Amino acid sequence: MARIAIPRRDETPLASKPILDAFNRQFGFTPNQFSIMSLSPTALAGWTGLQGALSKTLDSKTRDGIALVVSQVNSCRYCLSAYTFWAANTASLSLEEISLNRMGTSSDSKRDAAVRFAKKLLETRGKVTESDLDIVRQAGFTDANLVEIIALSVQFLFTNFINNVFDTPIDFPVVILDSKTA
């Protein structure tokens, strides 16, 4: 059960309505996560700005792989459900690849380095080793890409925290959180 009242559109601050309208056009509905975030127009606009800018980094499959591993590490059922739906339907990731990404790996060697790094980043709270950086660089990522992987991880961490704190009701096909993939 949600630990916060999910505001109806008419209950959201005026400044949040244009952003919610954009999500509604994109998804065909307003996901509960965004309704909750709309309670703070500043937080919603900040996250949306970060998400918009980062959507131009790396490739969609790598971004989705990072979203999946971050959500798995944080045991965010809402985000795992949303990102699995998104990855399967927009990035065309196979269910096998989605499962691998959740475990912190990938069948693609370059994407594997990024997903593994994102997992390590969260598990160590950013205290990665020089070797961890070298592996990502050797896979073909630049230092700018490293910053982008970190920024994407933080972006997904933010939504994980929102949904874990408020136990947001899942409005995507529900994905079971399997402790074996954590």
Domains of the chain: 14-54 (no CATH), 60-181 (1.20.1290.10)
Output the average pLDDT for the chain.
94
pLDDT number for residue 90: 82
What digits encode the pLDDT tens for the residues 101-153?
999 999 999 999 999 999 999 999 999 999 999 999 999 999 999 999 999 99
Quote the distance between the C-alpha of residue 123 and its chain's center.
Answer: 16
pTM confidence score: 0.93
pLDDT number for residue 179: 54
> How many Å apart are CA 95 and CA 179, to the nearest integer?
17
pLDDT number for residue 8: 92
Alpha helices (H) in the chain, listed in sequence order: 17-27, 32-37, 41-54, 60-73, 77-89, 95-103, 109-123, 130-138, 143-166
